[in-house]
Structures are given as C-alpha cells and as structure tokens.
A and B are shown apart, each in its own frame.
Chain A
Amino acid sequence: MPFKGLRSKRYWNLVRTRDERPLTEKENDFLLEYSESAPSEAVLAELESEAMQFFREQSLEPAPTDHLTSVISRKWAMERKKSAFGYWFPAVAGASITAVAVLAILQILTNAGKTTEATWRDAEARRMSNRSIDFPDPRVFSPRPIDR
C-alpha cells in the first residue's frame, strides 16, 4: 500500500489523541479500519495503552515529613542573617578602618604641635655623671708623633 507510512502515522496520532479528547466518528472509523488491516500495530497500540495505564497507576502520593516546613524556614532565616551580615560587613569594616586612620592622623597632628623645647631637649645626648673625662692619650695609640 503506497500510503501505508502516512496511514500508520495518522493511526498512532489518533491512538494518542484519544487519551486527550474524544475522537470524531470519522476518526474512530479510521482507527477501526486500520486496526483490521494492520493487526500487529493494533496489538502494539493496545499494549501501549496498558503500559500507560500501569504507569499512571504507579503515581506516588507521598506525605512530606512534618518538619519540612520548619527546616526550610529555619534555613531561610539563617541565610537571610548571613546575607545581611555579608551586606553590612564591608560598610562596617570600611567605616572602622577609616575611623582608626582619622584618629591616627589626628593624634599625629596633635603631637606634632606639641614639639616644644622640652621635648627636643630630652632628645639631646647627656653625660651620665660629672666625673672628669679620662681622654685616651693619642700617643699611646700612635707611636709616631703627630705631624702638625
């Protein structure tokens, strides 16, 4: 039959469509006629229908565990806290660092104004005591007289 492929395609389309909507009389007639002319395909269609019926019957209706809602809401609350911390942390850290830097600069500037005589006098070298200084005799170290 020259159009067997096309007819077979139409047959299978109708077999699958009949689960979704009622077929017209013309379509039903075609199904019957084709089933008689190609019994092997009709058997396959019947088996597919059975397989799908079996498949649909195995649909599961699980009861979610009681604590599912609380687990999810707790995780979400934690995540929100974390993200809030992550959001504010750079700003807080930046502000702290800036504050420390400003304080340090202020401190330096304030101290710079305080460099009075007293401060730099402390920095001078001083003698430990009033003992006379025992300078070494240069002749001891250099036997030749110093050429003046």
Chain B
Amino acid sequence: MAHETTARIAQEAALEDARWVQQVRLGDDKAVVALIDRHRLRLVRVATNILRSQTDAEDVAQDAFLRAFREIKSLRDDRAFAGYLYRIVVRLCMDKLRSRRPEVSEWDGVQPDEGVHVENRIVVRKLLDQLSPELRLTLVLREMEQLSYEEVADMMKVPVGTVRSRLHTARERFRDLWIKENKDAI
C-alpha cells in the first residue's frame, strides 16, 4: 500500500515536471523558476552529502540546472527530467571529487555551537575522502539518500550488480577506517 502511494506520488511529480519542461521549451521563464524550485532542495542535499561542502554543492547544482536546460530540447521523455538532472549532478560530483586535491578538507558549514556534531562531520568527511569517488558516491546514495539499488544504478549508469559489489566494498572500507579512527574508544 505504502509502495503504491509512493509510486503514485512519483508518477504525479513526473507528470508535473513534464508540463514544466514543455513550458521551458517554449521559452517560459516562470517554468524555469518552477523547475529550479521543485528540485533545488534535494539536489543541493545530495551534492552536499557527496561533497561534504555546501558551497561546492551549490556550484554543482547551478551547473547541473544549466546543463539540463541546455539539453532539454533533446530530452526523449519529459517525465524523466528529474532522473536526468540527478544523473548530471552525480556526474558533476564525481568530476569534482576526482579533481579535488586530497589535502583540502575544510568544512565550510560549521556553526560555532555545534561541538560534537562538527567533530563527527569532520570525521565522516575525513573517512569519505579516503574512499574512491565511485565507492563514496555509492555509499552516500544508498546509505544517506536511502535510494534503492536500481535507483543508484540508474544515477551512476552502472549495472545493479556493480552497485552491490561497490556497496559491499565501500561498507567494509568505511567500517575498517571507522574502527581505526575510533580504536581508542572501542
């Protein structure tokens, strides 16, 4: 029942996206704003969790929207706009991770009164930085974004079997790094 409701909501969202996409094709600026507003929250959240930096995530989101609008004319199925957009974000995040220098590990969203939370975030970023971009993306999309294997596979354009094996490796590596990081406490 819950699954059916989720599917229905997703279908309705896709239909609404399709309507806005058609308007964007006709040059409607309001439709552009509507599409950005519909997806920016989730897009920035996904990118922030992957990159662990909100500034980088917003840059990626901007770039992703512009690329999606540029290619909107060649989109085969207007209902697939969201999936298309998220695939662009994942690809851009991957590029960003590959081009990032390993020594850069500042956290730009720190609030002074966050204490332990900030420490944990820095730990997570430090551990994630030690994973390859592919493993990192798979782990974040599956564990933080709670996407299904099929959705992760679709976003990363790899077979579901690859997602499973990458996730297996990523969990093991993360666990080992986490144990190493907390060996005093364990």
Interface residues of A (CB under 8 A from B): 12, 16, 44, 47-48, 51-52, 54-62, 64-65, 68-69, 71-73, 75-77, 79-80
A68 and B109 contacting across the interface, CB-CB below 8 Å: no
Q: Per DSSP, are chain B's interface residues mostly helix, strand or loop, or mixed? A: helix
- Looking at the complex, which of B3-11, B58-66, B82-90 is the stretch in contact with chain A? B58-66
Q: How far is the CB of B161 from chain A (nearest CB, A)?
A: 14
Q: How long is the Cα–Cα vector from A52 to B27 in the complex, in angstroms? A: 45
Q: How long is the Cα–Cα vector from A15 to B166 in the complex, in angstroms? A: 16
Question: Assuming A51-B174, A69-B37, A80-B27, what are 12 further A-B pairs, CB within 8 angstroms?
Answer: A12-B168, A47-B178, A48-B171, A52-B175, A55-B174, A60-B45, A61-B45, A64-B41, A68-B44, A72-B32, A73-B36, A76-B65
When C-beta atoms are compared, the residue in chain A nearest to B64 turns out to be A72
9 closest Cβ contacts across the A-B interface? A51-B178, A48-B175, A59-B144, A58-B124, A64-B44, A51-B175, A62-B48, A62-B54, A69-B36
The interface on chain B, measured as residues whose beta carbon lies within 8 A of the other chain's beta carbons, has a size of: 38
Q: Per DSSP, are chain A's interface residues mostly helix, strand or loop, or mixed? A: helix
B44 and A72 contacting across the interface, CB-CB below 8 Å: no
Q: How long is the Cα–Cα vector from A44 to B175 in the complex, in angstroms? A: 8
Instruction: Please name all residues of chain B whose beta carbon is closer than 8 Å to the beta carbon of A59 when the two chains form the complex.
Output: 49, 144
Q: Given A47-B175, A62-B45, do A55 and B33 touch, yes or no (CB 8 Å)?
A: no
Q: How long is the Cα–Cα vector from A77 to B30 in the complex, in angstroms? A: 11
Instruction: Please name all residues of chain B whose beta carbon is closer than 8 Å to the beta carbon of A79 when the two chains form the complex.
Output: 66, 70
Whether B179 sits at the interface, judged by CB under 8 Å, is yes
Instruction: Please name all residues of chain B whose beta carbon is closer than 8 Å to the beta carbon of A69 when the two chains form the complex.
Output: 33, 36-37, 40
B120 and A47 contacting across the interface, CB-CB below 8 Å: no
When C-beta atoms are compared, the residue in chain B nearest to A44 turns out to be B175
Q: Given A55-B124, A56-B143, A69-B37, do A62 and B65 touch, yes or no (CB 8 Å)?
A: no
Q: How long is the Cα–Cα vector from A44 to B37 in the complex, in angstroms? A: 43
Within 8 A of A (CB), among B35-76: 36-37, 40-41, 44-45, 48-49, 52, 54, 57-58, 61-62, 65-66, 69-70
